[in-house]
Amino acid sequence: MKKMNVDELVAIDIHTHAEKSTRILPDEAAKEGLEARGRYFRYQPTHQTIDQMAEYYRARKMGFVCFTVDRERGQGLKNNISNEEIAESVAENADVAIAFASIDPSRGKMGVRMARDLIEKYKVKGFKFHPTVQAFFPNDHDCYPLYEVIAHYKLPALFHTGQTGIGAGMPGGGGLRLKYSNPMYLDDVAADFPDMPIIMAHPSVPWQDEALSVATHKPNVYIDLSGWSPKYFPPQLVQYANTLLKHKVLFGTDNPVLSPDRWMEDFAKLPMKPDVLPLIMKENAVRLLRLREEA
């Protein structure tokens, strides 16, 4: 079985999407939303299997975290790949790939069972939540039994925050509501689950200052830089990444929406301090995911 040697990697992309299954046919009902997302992000929505993603990252000496979004209740669309397939495919590419799972908190007790199974049998290393797609407030106490499982294993929970390209430009935004992804709701979660690392995904537009405040105040809260080209990063995000939050900011792309090649080209133009770059690109993720402990 392949093992990850973190010292041989130059970076770890904390935020990529597994979009193409080798077992499940695409949901035709998702076509309109996929085309709208392509227009919003100005990319051709063609996706790779996890094996293909692994080859891409391996060629660049990068590791990557991949996951799906459990969208069945929130959007009424079939999940395009299962958590189990992601975990099994990642296990075959464990030299570069790391599996997170996604469970809609509305699954209740069944979601709790699923989480335990995915951790214990499939060895997933974290969980992805999308409050806007899954239509929930992160601090809703109905979500807490699921968080309790994640916190018990001290695994990270990654939450989408801020604006989203999903549903953008569609009538009524595809029925999705941005309010759920205000990062301030994660302040409650961080306070109630201090042993659960929380990753706030993306520049949290229009709530960037709220995200910076929560990450500065709560030791268990991190920020990933995915989903936006670095040339559009708010100035205060760059400032905090260079200073107060240099140990809590993570390289992430949102691949396939934004490729690592483009992200890194734009990031190189920012006024980042040389001593901060290795922290953001790899070391913060290594520590957060405890990768050296498992080597």
pLDDT tens column, 132-149: 999 999 999 999 999 999
- Taking a C-beta distance cutoff of 8 angstroms, is the pair 199, 158 a contact? yes
Residue burial 223-260, b: 16+ Cβ < 10 Å; e: rest:
bbbbbbebeebbeebbebbbeebbebbbbbbbbbbbeb
Q: Rounded to an integer, what distance in angstroms lies between the CA atom of residue 225 and that of residue 248? A: 11
In terms of Cα–Cα distance, which of 19, 110, 118 is closest to 73? 110
Among 114, 119, 129, 121, smallest CA distance to 153 is for: 119
Name the β-bridge partners of 247: none
Whether 1 is in a domain gets the answer no
Q: Is pLDDT at 71 greater than 80 in this prediction?
A: yes
How far apart CA 51 and CA 151 sit, in angstroms, is: 30
For 90-107, what is each residue's pLDDT tens digit? Answer: 999 999 999 999 999 999
Indicate whether 273 belongs to any domain: yes
Q: In which domain, by residue range, is 53 found?
A: 6-294
| Number of domains present in the structure of the chain | 1
Tell me the C-alpha distance between 118 and 131, whole Å. 21
Q: What contacts 283, CB < 8 A, 6 or more positions away? A: none
Q: Tell me the pLDDT tens digit for each residue of 259-283.
A: 999 999 999 999 999 999 999 999 9
SS3 call for 185: helix
Distance CA 69, CA 290 (A): 24
Q: What percent of the chain has pLDDT over 90?
A: 80
Single-letter amino acid code for the residue at 15: H
R_g of the chain computed on alpha carbons = 17
Interatomic CA distance for residues 260 and 57, integer angstroms: 9
Contact 134, 104 (CB under 8 A): yes
Residues belonging to the chain = 295
| Distance between first and last Cα of the chain | 13
Q: Who wins on pLDDT, 71 or 137?
A: 137
CATH code where residue 89 lies: 3.20.20.140
Residue 136, both tokens: 């929930």
Residue position matching structure tokens 């990933």: 224
- 184, 190, 192, 194 alpha-carbon torsion, rounded to 10°: -170
Residue 211 lies in a domain: yes
Run of H or E residues at 223: strand 221-224
DSSP string, 251-295: ----BTSS-HHHHHHHHTTS---TTTHHIIIIIHHHHHTTHHHH-
**Assigned domain for 272 exists:** yes
Residue 270 lies in a domain: yes
Band of pLDDT at residue 63, cut at 50, 70 and 90: very high
* Residue, of 46 and 107, whose pLDDT is higher: 107
Predicted local confidence at residue 177, as pLDDT? 95
- Mapped onto helix, strand or coil, the DSSP state of residue 107 is helix
Residue 195 contacts residue 151 (beta carbons within 8 Å): yes
pLDDT in tens, 166-209: 887 888 988 999 999 999 999 999 999 999 999 999 999 999 99
- CA within 13 Å, CB half, 142: 10
